[in-house]
């Protein structure tokens, strides 16, 4: 597929970690690409599986890095999880393994967070994780309580190289202890977040493009009928691509190369 296929895209979905930034370092081309979206009247949504922060926190970080992104352009797997629960289990009492920011996201959505007597157990990217939290979660999971994870990412890339364990690693811990995986995983590439994104943007999936650095989440979103661009600025490496079950439509070094490709198209 050639770069000309980008001419049909009306909405771009951009991953954050490893795509727009790494830790506190803005990656090449991010500012130019967002300006280009505005100049050409293209819709965009910053779509992250990272549920450890609220969208307002991400908005603050992006502005600190020099990107003028309104909070309403940011959509997290944590927010998508609250939308899913409001639709499927309204009024549920939630045992949540998550950061204080994710807890606040749930409270703002109207959920009551409890330690005992929960109707559903939710596992997010918890950088405040303790053994007691995991122990209580495995008790709920072993007892058959409905069990939801915000996203499946195993690792989160870091600016200096290397990774920090993400929710997928915590899912593996729970499975090793209980023999059970989540009943539903909300974030990319799963249907609940695809449905939430389309409801938010109103753009047909065939005119939507996901740009990200992970094959098994960002690029796997292509199975929903979304065009995909893999950037090599985060987790994925060129040698990972040939054997991957999910193949990107385009591969680029970073967002600067994507901006170059869009600028080369008729305005």
* Active centre residues (catalytic): 15, 17
Q: At 78, list the tokens.
A: 């944590």
What is the C-alpha to C-alpha distance for residues 198 and 53, in angstroms, rounded to an integer? 22
Query: 3-class secondary structure for 113-176?
Result: ECCCCCCEEEECCCCCCCHHHHHHHHHHHHCCCCEEECCCCCEEECCCCCEEECHHHHHHHHHH
* Nearest residue to 86 (alpha-carbon basis) of 115, 109, 57, 117: 109
Contact 227, 248 (CB under 8 A): no
Contact partners, residue 177, CB within 8 Å, separation at least 6: 138, 142
Q: DSSP string of 97-109?
A: ES-HHHHHHHHHT
* Peptide linkage before 189 cis (omega within 30 of 0): yes
What is the C-alpha to C-alpha distance for residues 14 and 245, in angstroms, rounded to an integer? 21
């Amino acid at each position: 597929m050639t770069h000309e296929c980008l001419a049909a895209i009306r909405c771009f979905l951009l991953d954050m970690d490893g795509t727009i930034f790494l830790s506190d370092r803005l990656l090449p081309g991010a500012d130019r690409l967002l300006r280009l979206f505005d100049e050409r009247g293209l819709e965009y949504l910053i779509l992250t599986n990272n549920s450890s922060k609220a969208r307002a926190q991400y908005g603050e970080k992006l502005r600190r890095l020099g990107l003028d992104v309104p909070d309403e352009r940011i959509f997290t797997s944590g927010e998508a999880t609250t939308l899913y629960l409001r639709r499927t289990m309204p009024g549920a009492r939630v045992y949540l393994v998550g950061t204080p920011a994710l807890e606040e996201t749930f409270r703002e959505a109207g959920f009551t967070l409890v330690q005992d007597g929960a109707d559903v157990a939710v596992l997010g990217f918890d950088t405040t994780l303790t053994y007691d939290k995991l122990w209580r979660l495995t008790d709920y999971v072993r007892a058959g309580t409905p069990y939801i994870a915000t996203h499946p990412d195993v690792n989160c890339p870091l600016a200096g190289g290397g990774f920090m364990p993400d929710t997928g690693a915590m899912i593996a811990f729970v499975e090793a202890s209980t023999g059970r995986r989540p009943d539903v995983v909300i974030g990319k590439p799963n249907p609940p977040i695809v449905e939430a994104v389309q409801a938010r943007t109103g753009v047909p999936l065939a005119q939507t493009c996901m740009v990200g650095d992970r094959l098994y989440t960002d690029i796997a979103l292509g199975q929903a009928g979304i065009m995909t661009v893999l950037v090599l600025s985060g987790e994925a490496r060129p040698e990972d691509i040939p054997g991957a079950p999910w193949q990107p439509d385009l591969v680029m070094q970073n967002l600067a190369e994507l901006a170059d490709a869009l600028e080369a198209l008729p305005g």
